Amino acid sequence: MELSKDQPELTKKVYDTSMFRVCEQCGSCSSACPLTGKEGFNIRRIIRHLELDLVDEVTDSPLPWICTTCGRCEDACPNGIKILDIIRFLRQLSPPDLIPEGPPCTLACPAHINIPEYLRLICQGKVDDAYALIREKVPFPGILGRVCTRPCEDQCKRGDVNNPISICALKRYVADNENTSSDRFLNVENDTGHNVAIIGAGPTGLTAAFYLKKKGHQVTVFEERSEPGGMMWLAIPAYRLPQEIVKNEIQRVLDIGIELKIGKKLGRDFNLQKLKTDGYEAVFIAIGGQHSRRINLEGMDFNGVLWGVDFLYETKEKKPTEMKDRVIVIGGGNVAIDVALTSLRLGAQEVTLACLETFKEMPASSWEIEQAAEEGIRIMNSWGPSRILGSNGKVTGIELMKCTSVFNENGIFSPLFDNDTKTTLDTDMVILAIGQATDLSFIDADAASVKVDKGLIVVDKTTQATNLSGIFAGGDVSKAPGTIIEAIVAGKRAASSIDKFLGGDGIIDESYVDINLDEHTIQERRNKGFADLKRLDIQKIYVTERQDNFKEVELQYDTEQGIKEAMRCFSCDLEIEHCKKSNSRQTIISTESS
């Protein structure tokens, strides 16, 4: 008897032990399985347990859920045993607390985007629907498709077999190829009569503004600088995120009727009390961490010493500093990498990046580090600045000292140095990109002060509320600098809380696409060889084409590539849904066929 994915619901689950007698225990399946040995997973051992009627020992463990159902075992089995049917049958017998809440990619995404579904829509050629599905959770698909840190890919089960799906690149593919009328996303609820002030037009503030306006509230965004977008507009270089992409996606947000006031700074042009006096019932502070974090360092006042975020701002504002031939960048994060690569594009001949962290500890994304290496950036790991050297008021070099550890035993940043191990590098310019800071000077000018701790506004992590009634804060102003996707989620969380504060239900997620998982089978696309489908690398422009310009480095998938890459998805959501529908902890009866 072959276990079927369409097995009807029974009072008791029945399996036929005779099918396992076909198994010769040759080990072909376990040898082919990419997960053999992971947490004790071994297909041959699982089948042996079933032969011995030790089913509960398997079903009451995580073993059935470790399997990716990639199908490599079935391809290798000389007797054609339907091993995946066996795994799925065991999953149906799993205790409810072992059944995953959802696909790992979606759970890893801070915004919980329905990734498997939008990949299926790509496979079907329904790019507009895929875009709409992403827009249900985030207002900036094209931006995220370029600069997201990809936590979803870290958890993608395809990565257990070979390489994770290029989820981020497929998001960009969808955003760059959709032809959906913007009218689809312009629906706004009836005017509630409530007014909300958003301070800061970065990803956090704009996201909150978008969802609050959708709920029918009147929303005004105050932005200090000449353009909205925060770090997306001012700091992320165009070779990673073209400005036209940022501008277009921000305009789509503003088009629903949000009022934007440019050149208005909190603490200079208005304060919190004035906003309340002007009739704003709720205020959301989302001014971000748009300043360079500074340290006291001998020689920091020499001509030729710059600060990372400020340097990137000036470059974006078409006020680039005159570059020198030799540049030392201090820092190991994405901002430091951006500074180093921007320096090359502005004419530096030799760029070295020194950071406290070991190569594995560097906070920069691996693909950013890879690009830096491609373009000839020299990276010196485990070195920190001791002092900047100079002559006649100008930088001439830098002294570095060896960093022996970056974090203490509790994982807290607490670097230790070997003061006897130092090195000196000659250089014409030093750019320190060691982090970001928030400008909280407005607090001194405001009688109604929000509570601050360690340079950040203190908020309730669940509601983003401050200690002042009606005043909320979120994003980098209330948390150490995070990612754009984290900023978006903070904005959504604040929008929900503010809506409740104003008497609403706090439900902000929308539905643009009808989803029916029953239309799909768990065997979709699993033909022979499915497990070995390789990830399609993102093509890049040649290194020689990147000199003296800010052309976007990564290229997008074409239609054929996009569909081919999306088809590698295991559809974990269908596997989980199938199990939930069939799950039963009833008595198991072993039978044998004649």
Residues 297 and 285 in one domain: no
Q: Each residue of 16-69: pLDDT tens digit?
A: 555 556 778 888 999 999 999 988 899 988 888 887 778 888 888 999 999 999
Q: Where are the alpha helices (DSSP H) in 321-365?
A: 334-345
Q: How far is CA 242 from CA 84, 122, 540, in A?
A: 45, 24, 15
Under the banding of pLDDT at 50, 70 and 90, the label for residue 578 is confident
User: Could you tell me if residue 541 is inside a domain?
Assistant: no
Residues 193 and 278 in one domain: yes
Strands (E), 186-285: 195-199, 218-223, 259-262, 282-285
Total number of domains in the chain = 4
Q: CA 257: distance to chain centroid?
A: 28
Q: Which residue has the tokens 């995070």?
A: 482
Report the 3 state secondary structure along 526-565: CCCCHHHCCCCCCCECCHHHHCCCCCCCECCCCHHHHHHH
How many Å apart are CA 66 and CA 58, to the nearest integer? 11
| Residues contacting 430, CB < 8 A, separation 6+ | 304, 305, 306, 327, 328, 329, 330, 385, 388, 395, 398
What percentage of the chain exceeds 70 in pLDDT? 93
CATH number, residue 74 = 1.10.1060
Residues 383 and 403 in one domain: yes
Residues facing residue 221 across a β-bridge: 198, 260
User: Could you tell me if residue 523 is inside a domain?
Assistant: no
Read off the DSSP letter of residue 337. H
Q: Which residue has the tokens 């940022």?
A: 246
Read off the DSSP letter of residue 418. E
Residues 176 and 218 in one domain: no
Q: pLDDT at position 577, please?
A: 87
- Checking if the pLDDT of 335 tops 60, the result is yes
H or E stretch at 162: none
User: Could you tell me if residue 375 is inside a domain?
Assistant: yes
How many Å apart are CA 221 and CA 44, to the nearest integer? 61
- Checking if the pLDDT of 1 tops 50, the result is no
Q: pLDDT at position 88, please?
A: 87
More confident residue, 517 or 217: 217
User: Could you tell me if residue 507 is inside a domain?
Assistant: no
- Checking if the pLDDT of 109 tops 60, the result is yes
Residues 428 and 442 in one domain: no
With contact defined as beta carbons under 8 Å apart, do 93 and 588 qualify? yes
Q: pLDDT at position 222, please?
A: 98
- Vertex 246: Cα angle to 242 and 248 (nearest 5): 110
- Could you tell me the residue range of the domain that residue 490 belongs to? 188-290+438-501
How many Å apart are CA 214 and CA 509, to the nearest integer? 10
Residues 310 and 217 in one domain: no
* Structure tokens belonging to residue 109: 């995404």
Instruction: Collapse the DSSP code of 591 into the 3-class scheme (helix H, G, I; strand E, B; otherwise coil) and give the result.
Output: strand
Read off the DSSP letter of residue 303. B
How many Å apart are CA 177 and CA 98, to the nearest integer? 39
- Checking if the pLDDT of 355 tops 50, the result is yes
**End-to-end alpha carbon distance in the chain:** 10
User: Could you tell me if residue 93 is inside a domain?
Assistant: yes
Under the banding of pLDDT at 50, 70 and 90, the label for residue 89 is confident
CATH number, residue 408 = 3.50.50.60
* Structure tokens belonging to residue 31: 């040898």
User: Could you tell me if residue 522 is inside a domain?
Assistant: no
Taking each helix axis from N to C terminus, what angle separates 308-316 and 334-345, rounded to the nearest 10 degrees?
50
User: Could you tell me if residue 365 is inside a domain?
Assistant: yes
With contact defined as beta carbons under 8 Å apart, do 355 and 381 qualify? yes
Under the banding of pLDDT at 50, 70 and 90, the label for residue 4 is very low
Q: What is the mean pLDDT of residues 496-523?
A: 89
End residue of a domain, out of 436, 456, 485: 436
User: What's the mean per-residue pLDDT of the chain?
Assistant: 90
Q: Each residue of 146-174: pLDDT tens digit?
A: 999 999 999 999 999 999 999 999 999 99
Mean pLDDT check: name the lowest of 174-183, 462-471, 510-519, 576-585.
576-585
Residues 237 and 128 in one domain: no
Residues 333 and 357 in one domain: yes
* Structure tokens belonging to residue 389: 């050297």
With contact defined as beta carbons under 8 Å apart, do 109 and 151 qualify? yes
Residues 217 and 228 in one domain: yes
Residues 192 and 318 in one domain: no
Burial per residue of 31-63, b for 16 or more beta-carbon CB atoms within 10 angstroms, e otherwise: ebbbbbeeeebbbbebbebbeeeebeebbebeb
Residues 236 and 282 in one domain: yes
Strands 452-453, 326-330: pairing kind:
unpaired
Q: Each residue of 420-448: pLDDT tens digit?
A: 999 999 999 999 999 888 888 888 655 56
In this prediction the pTM is 0.91
- The one-letter amino acid code at 479 reads K
Instruction: Collapse the DSSP code of 136 into the 3-class scheme (helix H, G, I; strand E, B; otherwise coil) and give the result.
Output: coil
- The one-letter amino acid code at 37 reads G
Residues 349 and 481 in one domain: no
Q: pLDDT at position 3, please?
A: 42
User: Could you tell me if residue 284 is inside a domain?
Assistant: yes
Q: Which residue has the tokens 């020992």?
A: 57
Q: pLDDT at position 286, please?
A: 96
- Vertex 156: Cα angle to 560 and 99 (nearest 5): 125
Q: How far is CA 292 from CA 55, 201, 435, in A?
A: 59, 19, 6
